[in-house]
């Protein structure tokens, strides 16, 4: 596939996104940018959230991950269902009852100023890290497809990648995101289906034969029962449940979309259908991964050293041009459907949680507020650029593994704070909450490094999130005041 063809495909794709941005942001203000005026149809939100949840990480890393973890990822996916049920039944009614713009405003009502700022700060760190991992993936694909041929550096690739996101999100914010994510989810799912179909054609397989091949391959084991390994079912299932809670229910990025629905009933319908469809889609991605490895083995194609490179290398260097274009559209759609909302939610959280944009006295100064919001939006774009460059120099793991490892440390304090707030009625010495939330990830990291020595060969996996959240909860118990909260 020539770089010129790739550029043409990307140009047409982003022209469509920019057109959608123009149509959805002709009359915008802070309410439109932050909440979409709470007019989003629930089915659009649900469909678009699939792409935002999966992102380029799932599109590339989950298929590549099959070689080392087989279908074990489904253990986590099943746990997601429990997490999403908790979000729909417990967290979302709370957010709607309090009429929140930023979900971290709950922490101010429950505990006080420092707890609120601590929660918002850990979200900013979590989302910056997560979005950077995801954008790193799409930048790497563009580097292989276009910029290596033209001898353009990775730094330029990253700048172009982020610049395109900024271009179609800076005006309409979440209102634009709801519509562009719907389109991008459609492209992503079509890409997976078309790639699987074309692999079947090349290998002369029908659907039934494909199912049999995947089932009988060395990649299809779902459940694992070695307690000392991080792949054990209970560890993975519980990790999946809590990862869903923290990375969706306690994450401004994901919940901002839900809070654009007209009412709690529609938001809960969105969450129910989203969670069911997500299980099926993740299984589809794992099947794609198995088929990619089966295809490589049958054609004698060497497996790349980095598992994340398998899908891009096959699509861009071994599949036909049409499949390559479909892959390119799929990875761009997957990565951008997550990254665009991340950039918007970072801007929202900083404006609302640290600059008090939702306060009544600031809403009157519309022009000043809009200009400042644009600067913040640009500032977070620059921060993402810097973090991606740093990650490029350090990372050598599958990106999906890195995302969940990072989530264990950055979302742990949020898990502890919300658990304490929801399931106790104690007040806290608010000023000391940041200390607990900094110490808990540090102690968790130390325990993770030495787990085999301390715990007789036990290896922590993604359940380090539970350890982190538990340590935060225990630390908060030490900060209890005598009087009880009334919220």
Distance in angstroms (rounded) separating the CA atoms of residues 83 and 59: 22
pTM: 0.78
Distance in angstroms (rounded) separating the CA atoms of residues 406 and 127: 10
Query: What 3 state SS string does 104-118 have?
Result: CHHHHHHCCHHHHHH
Sequential pLDDT tens for the chain (487 residues): 667 777 787 788 778 777 777 776 665 555 555 555 566 777 777 777 776 677 666 777 778 778 788 888 899 999 999 999 999 999 999 999 988 888 999 999 999 999 999 999 998 988 888 778 777 777 777 777 677 777 788 888 888 878 877 776 665 556 677 777 777 778 888 888 888 888 888 888 888 888 888 888 888 888 888 877 777 888 889 888 988 898 888 888 778 778 878 888 888 888 888 888 889 888 988 888 888 888 888 888 888 877 777 887 888 788 888 888 888 777 777 767 667 777 778 888 888 888 887 544 444 555 666 678 788 888 888 998 888 888 777 655 455 556 556 667 888 899 999 999 999 999 999 999 999 999 999 999 898 888 878 888 777 776 788 889 999 999 999 999 876 655 5
Distance in angstroms (rounded) separating the CA atoms of residues 285 and 401: 16
Contact indicator for 75, 223 with CB cutoff of 8 Å: yes
Q: Would you call 456 helix, strand, or coil by DSSP?
A: coil
Buried b (16+ CB within 10 A) or exposed e, 366-404: eeebeeebeebbeebbebbbebbbebbeeeeebbbbbbb
Contact indicator for 33, 260 with CB cutoff of 8 Å: no
Cα–Cα distance list, 253 to 130, 147, 296, 387 (Å): 11, 30, 37, 18
Cα–Cα distance list, 190 to 80, 187, 193, 328 (Å): 23, 5, 5, 12
Query: What size, in residues, is the chain?
Result: 487
Phi, psi of 426 (to 5 degrees): -85, 150
């Amino acid at each position: 596939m020539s770089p010129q063809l790739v550029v043409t495909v990307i140009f047409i794709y982003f022209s469509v996104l920019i057109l959608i941005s123009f149509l959805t942001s002709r009359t915008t203000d802070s309410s439109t940018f932050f909440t979409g005026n709470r007019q989003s149809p629930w089915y659009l939100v649900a469909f678009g959230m699939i792409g935002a949840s999966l992102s380029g990480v799932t599109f590339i890393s989950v298929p590549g991950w099959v070689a080392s973890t087989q279908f074990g990822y489904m253990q986590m996916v099943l746990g997601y269902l429990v997490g999403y049920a908790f979000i729909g039944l417990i967290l979302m009614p709370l957010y709607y009852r309090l009429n929140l713009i930023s979900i971290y405003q709950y922490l101010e009502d429950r505990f006080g100023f420092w707890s609120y700022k601590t929660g918002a700060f850990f979200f900013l760190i979590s989302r910056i890290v997560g979005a950077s991992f995801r954008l790193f993936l799409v930048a790497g694909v563009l580097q292989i497809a276009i910029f290596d041929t033209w001898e353009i550096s990775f730094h330029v690739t990253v700048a172009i990648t982020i610049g395109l996101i900024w271009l179609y999100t800076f005006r309409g914010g979440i209102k634009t995101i709801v519509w562009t994510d719907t389109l991008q989810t459609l492209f992503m799912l079509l890409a997976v289906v078309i790639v699987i179909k074309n692999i079947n054609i090349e290998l002369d397989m029908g659907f039934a034969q494909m199912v049999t091949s995947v089932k009988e391959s060395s990649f299809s084991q779902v459940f694992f029962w070695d307690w000392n390994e991080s792949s054990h079912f209970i560890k993975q299932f519980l990790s999946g449940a809590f990862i869903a809670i923290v990375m969706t229910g306690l994450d401004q990025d994901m919940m901002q979309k839900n809070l654009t629905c007209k009412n709690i009933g529609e938001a809960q319908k969105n969450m129910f259908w989203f969670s069911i469809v997500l299980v099926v889609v993740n299984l589809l991605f794992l099947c794609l991964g198995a088929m990619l490895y089966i295809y490589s083995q049958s054609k004698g194609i060497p497996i790349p050293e980095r598992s994340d490179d398998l899908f891009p290398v096959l699509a861009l260097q071994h599949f036909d041009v049409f499949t390559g274009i479909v892959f390119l559209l799929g990875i761009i759609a997957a990565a951008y459907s997550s990254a665009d909302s991340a950039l918007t939610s970072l801007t929202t959280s900083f404006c609302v949680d640290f600059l008090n944009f939702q306060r009544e006295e600031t809403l009157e100064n519309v022009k000043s507020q809009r200009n400042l919001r644009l600067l913040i939006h640009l500032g977070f774009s620059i921060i993402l650029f810097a973090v991606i460059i740093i990650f490029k120099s350090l990372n050598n793991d599958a990106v999906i593994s890195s995302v969940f490892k990072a989530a264990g440390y950055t979302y742990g304090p949020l898990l502890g704070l919300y658990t304490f707030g929801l399931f106790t009625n104690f007040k806290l010495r608010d000023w000391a909450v940041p200390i607990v939330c900094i110490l808990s990830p540090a102690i968790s990291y130390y325990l993770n490094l030495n787990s085999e020595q301390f715990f007789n060969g036990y290896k922590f996996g993604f359940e380090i999130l539970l350890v982190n959240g538990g340590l935060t909860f225990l630390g908060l118990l030490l900060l209890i005041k005598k009087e009880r909260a009334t919220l």
